[in-house]
Amino acid sequence: MAKLYLVPTPIGNLEDVTLRAIRILKEVDLILAEDTRVSGFLIKHLGIEKKLISHHQHNEHKTVSSIAESIAEGKNVALISDAGTPGISDPGFLLVRECIKHGIAIECLPGPTAFVPALVNSGLPCDRFCFEGFLPQKKGRHTRLQNLKLEQRTMIFYESPFRLVKTLEQLSQVFGDDRRASVSRELSKLYEETQRGTLIELIEYFSKKTVKGEIVIVVGGATQTSSLEEESEDEVEKD
């Protein structure tokens, strides 16, 4: 029976691709790629000769039905993103949902994703955490942060280098200057960097330099004491 394969791709270092991922990409009938130009480089590097079709956030609503039909008719299809695991802040969810709806088998391979090494390398508790991905750029951004103010688990955010300092400033305004955090960028690449400290220290550090690469921000959760204090303040305001 044909399947949809979700195949993680390296987030930087091409050596991180798994043997299983290579085999699946060689065996499937079709590869869906977030950006065929980016994925084309990887496919060529791996010596794979398969047709790549664009599947991204701007066309996935229109194409999921036809893709599901192709799988139902017997074609094995692999979905890859530009980097990391499909569906994690990348296209994938809609196609998975459509395949489940039609009883199509799905197989997700384990593999690279940026937030895991950033979390483990942050030095912050990683036994319990919540992944927030990209914050809303405008509408709902402040509300989302306010809702996380009392979150006691470690929090993980994705961000672009152009908005890094602004986002750190917003996090500091809501969570406090002294909240512990880390910023990781260029994970698995030559200029990989993880900077740790309080939010105010990170703001000062990144305000003085030009930042490039994909960004993962990891923020420590609220302590039980601070959560109780915030709740008490909220109760006073209500009274």
Taking only the tens place, the pLDDT of each residue in 80-105 is: 999 999 999 999 999 999 999 999 99
pLDDT of 238 > 90? The answer is: no
pLDDT of 226 > 90? The answer is: no
Residue 36 Cα distances to 32, 84, 141, 158, 174, angstroms? 8, 15, 31, 23, 39
Average pLDDT, the chain: 93
pLDDT of 186 > 90? The answer is: yes
CATH 3.40.1010.10 range(s) for the chain read 3-108
Q: What is the CATH topology of the domain spanning 3-108?
A: Cobalt-precorrin-4 Transmethylase; domain 1 (3.40.1010)
CATH 3.30.950.10 range(s) for the chain read 115-230
Cα angle, residue 40 at apex, residues 21 and 58 outer, rounded to 5°: 95
The amino acid present at 14, given as its one-letter code, is L
| Single pTM value for the model | 0.90
**CATH match for 115-230 among 3.40.50.11310, 3.30.950.10, 3.40.640.10, 3.40.50.300:** 3.30.950.10
Question: Which residues contact residue 108 at a Cβ distance below 8 angstroms, ignoring those fewer than 6 apart?
Answer: 5, 6, 85
Q: What is the pLDDT, as a whole number, of residue 51?
A: 87
